[in-house]
């Protein structure tokens, strides 16, 4: 085989170059085609996202409207109602507040956050749609040859820049529900009289002989009422009055009774004074106020916190008062000066010895009595501060009939 002539070689080379240029031109044309397809796909996907967004925005706006209508107390039930299908919310929109509350009363409270759930749902849809868009953009990749790879790289950047990513928006947040619409918070004087008169007509059945009637008393306990409904109403009234007094709020019995009775017939009633109804009154032994005071005198913050925490469900007013005292004690400890029942730790560490038991006349006797009253349960007679264990042992000893161990015995036995 002979060598190619220079003319033949030029013809072959020219043909090859022409073929490469044609491929490069074809590649450029395909960039336009893929770009057009990607932009079309982006518009379709953006439209789909906008539909998702509008739907979820409407769901959240409807939820917020309904929560404002029914009030804070019903938000949990509304969350539960909306779980099955958000579209159900629109069924309630044109109803009045009482009708909606009656429907929601069929549901249990739910801790689920409807608005957060819908926001997360939209985010998942956005991610899926964005992936579909990127898949369309990526179709152009890998279609080049050695001689057109540079065009492919530039084309990918051009397609990506023009088709871009979805334009997303932020959904509305949860709106504060507030007390609700058409929720009474106060009774007029005529309303108070009406509700009490109706109650009396129903339950005052005992003829007192002077053309007046009274509630039936319990045969075994005359201080109680025979009818549980009557007893429950007056138990609540007593607790309301006691709590109000603790909070320095004036609340008369008639107003308290009217509020209780009105709520019995109207569960949605949110009277201002009903906040004073707690499980037990402020003087109830179950609140362990004596134990709390004792723990405070020893600076036992952990025991104080345990008692206060238990009391939150029994009487929130007493619990809050205890929490304030705990905070004050913790702040005092942090400053290095812990308050106890008789003074500060700094003060108690510098107590003088107890005056001699004998001699000194009336003045010395008064000094001994004063010392015993202030330091007798916290210090040894030489003025040394007892440990908490020693103080507890001394108190237990003194509680025993005829007295128990002496302070010196406790000092020897308990470090």
In this prediction, residue 179 carries a pLDDT of 59
- What's the whole-number mean pLDDT along residues 204-222? 86
Claim to verify: residue 69 and residue 204 sit in the same structural domain: no
Claim to verify: residue 11 and residue 159 sit in the same structural domain: yes
- What's the whole-number mean pLDDT along residues 280-304? 90
Claim to verify: residue 257 and residue 300 sit in the same structural domain: no
- What's the whole-number mean pLDDT along residues 385-400? 77
CA distance 370 to 354: 10
In-domain check, residue 302: yes
Is 65's pLDDT higher than 90?
no
Claim to verify: residue 48 and residue 145 sit in the same structural domain: yes
In this prediction, residue 17 carries a pLDDT of 47
What's the pLDDT band for 153 if we cut at 50, 70, 90? low
Claim to verify: residue 151 and residue 13 sit in the same structural domain: yes
Domain count, the chain: 4
Instruction: Look at residues 276, 309, 338 and tell me which one is the last residue of a structural domain.
Output: 276
In-domain check, residue 237: yes
Residue 48 CB partners (closer than 8 Å, separation 6+):
129
Is 338's pLDDT higher than 60?
no
Claim to verify: residue 12 and residue 155 sit in the same structural domain: yes
Claim to verify: residue 343 and residue 376 sit in the same structural domain: no
Of 82-96, 128-142, 184-198, 335-349, the range with the lowest mean pLDDT is: 335-349
Q: How far is CA 161 from CA 42, 43, 117, in A?
A: 12, 14, 32
CA distance 77 to 104: 6
Claim to verify: residue 143 and residue 121 sit in the same structural domain: yes
349 vs 254, more confident: 254
CA distance 65 to 115: 12
Tokens of 272: 């201002």
The rounded radius of gyration (Å) of the Cα atoms in the chain is 41
Q: Does residue 246 contact residue 316 with C-beta atoms inside 8 Å?
A: no
Claim to verify: residue 314 and residue 265 sit in the same structural domain: no
Q: Does residue 296 contact residue 341 with C-beta atoms inside 8 Å?
A: yes
Q: Does residue 49 contact residue 126 with C-beta atoms inside 8 Å?
A: yes
Is 376's pLDDT higher than 70?
yes
In-domain check, residue 175: no
- What's the whole-number mean pLDDT along residues 330-337? 73
In this prediction, residue 94 carries a pLDDT of 80
In-domain check, residue 337: yes
In-domain check, residue 236: yes
- What's the whole-number mean pLDDT along residues 86-93? 83
Instruction: Look at residues 247, 276, 305 and tell me which one is the last residue of a structural domain.
Output: 276
CA distance 95 to 153: 60
Is 218's pLDDT higher than 70?
yes
Task: Write out the residue range of the structural domain in which residue 193 sits.
Answer: 189-276
Claim to verify: residue 129 and residue 24 sit in the same structural domain: yes
Residue 88 CB partners (closer than 8 Å, separation 6+):
81, 82
Strand partners of residue 217: 225
Claim to verify: residue 142 and residue 126 sit in the same structural domain: yes
What's the pLDDT band for 366 if we cut at 50, 70, 90? confident
Claim to verify: residue 130 and residue 37 sit in the same structural domain: yes
In percent, how much of the chain has pLDDT > 90? 20
Q: Does residue 289 contact residue 315 with C-beta atoms inside 8 Å?
A: no
In-domain check, residue 147: yes
On average, the pLDDT of the chain sits at 79
Residue 121 CB partners (closer than 8 Å, separation 6+):
56
CA angle (28 as vertex; 167, 26 as ends), nearest 5: 135
In-domain check, residue 250: yes
Instruction: Look at residues 309, 332, 347 and tell me which one is the last residue of a structural domain.
Output: 347
In-domain check, residue 409: yes
């Amino acid at each position: 085989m002979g060598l190619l002539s220079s003319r033949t070689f030029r013809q072959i080379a020219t043909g090859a170059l022409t073929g490469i240029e044609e491929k490069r031109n074809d590649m450029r044309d395909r960039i336009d085609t893929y770009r057009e397809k990607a932009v079309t796909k982006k518009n379709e996907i953006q439209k789909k996202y906008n539909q998702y967004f509008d739907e979820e925005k409407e769901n959240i706006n409807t939820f917020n409207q309904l929560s404002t209508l029914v009030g804070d107390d019903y938000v949990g039930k509304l969350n539960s109602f909306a779980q099955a299908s958000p579209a159900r919310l629109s069924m309630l929109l044109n109803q009045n507040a009482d009708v909606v509350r009656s429907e929601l009363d069929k549901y249990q409270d739910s801790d689920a956050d409807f608005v957060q759930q819908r926001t997360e749902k939209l985010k998942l849809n956005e991610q899926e749609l964005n992936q579909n868009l990127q898949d369309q953009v990526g179709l152009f990749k890998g279609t080049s040859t050695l001689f057109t790879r540079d065009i492919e790289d530039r084309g990918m950047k051009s397609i990506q820049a023009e088709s871009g990513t979805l334009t997303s928006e932020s959904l509305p947040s949860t709106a504060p529900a507030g007390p609700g619409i058409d929720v009474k918070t106060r009774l007029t004087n005529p309303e108070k009289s009406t509700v009490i008169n109706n109650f009396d007509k129903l339950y005052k059945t005992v003829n007192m002989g002077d053309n007046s009637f009274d509630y039936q008393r319990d045969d075994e306990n005359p201080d109680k009422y025979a009818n549980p409904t009557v007893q429950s109403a007056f138990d609540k009234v007593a607790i309301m009055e006691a709590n109000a007094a603790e909070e320095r709020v004036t609340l008369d019995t008639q107003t308290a009774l009217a509020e209780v009775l009105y709520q019995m017939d109207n569960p949605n009633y949110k009277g201002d004074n009903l906040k004073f109804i707690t499980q037990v009154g402020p003087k109830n032994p179950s609140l362990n106020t004596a134990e709390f005071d004792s723990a405070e005198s020893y600076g036992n913050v952990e025991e104080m916190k345990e008692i206060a925490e238990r009391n939150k469900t029994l009487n929130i007013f007493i619990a809050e008062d205890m929490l304030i005292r705990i905070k004050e004690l913790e702040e005092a400890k942090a400053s290095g000066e812990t308050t106890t029942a008789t003074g500060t730790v700094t003060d108690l560490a510098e107590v003088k010895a107890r005056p001699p038991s004998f001699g000194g006349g009336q003045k010395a006797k008064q000094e001994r009595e004063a010392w015993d009253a202030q330091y007798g349960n916290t210090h040894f007679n030489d003025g040394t501060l007892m440990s908490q264990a020693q103080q507890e042992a001394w108190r237990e000893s003194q509680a025993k009939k005829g007295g128990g161990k002496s302070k010196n015995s406790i000092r020897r036995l308990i470090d």
